C-alpha cells in the first residue's frame, strides 16, 4: 500500500495505491480529498477481489 498526497490550490488530494512488490504493478487505487482509512480499505478490498489473497 502506498499513500501519496498531491498538492492542489485549496489543499491536498490523497492517492492510495495497492502495489505488487514483485512486478511493481498497481493492483487497485483510490483518490480522496480527506485522509481517512475508508478509501484505503476500499482499494485493498478491490485488489483482493480482483487478484485474490496474497
DSSP letters for 1-54? -EEEEEEETTEEEEEEEEE-TTT--EEEEEEESS--HHHHHHHHHHHHHHH---
Distance of CA 24 to the CA centre of its chain: 14
Q: Residue 49: what pLDDT?
A: 97
- Count of structural domains, the chain: 1
Q: Residue 11: what pLDDT?
A: 94
Domain residues for the domain of 22 are 2-51
Express each pLDDT in 7-50 by its tens digit. Answer: 999 999 999 999 999 999 999 999 999 999 999 999 999 999 99
Separation CA 47–CA 54 (nearest Å): 10
Separation CA 23–CA 45 (nearest Å): 19
Amino acid at each position: 500500500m502506498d499513500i501519496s498526497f498531491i498538492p492542489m490550490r485549496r489543499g491536498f488530494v490523497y492517492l492510495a495505491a495497492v502495489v505488487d512488490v514483485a512486478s511493481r504493478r498497481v493492483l487497485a487505487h483510490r483518490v480522496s480529498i480527506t485522509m481517512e482509512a475508508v478509501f484505503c480499505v476500499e482499494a485493498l478490498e478491490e485488489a483482493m477481489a480482483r487478484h485474490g489473497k496474497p
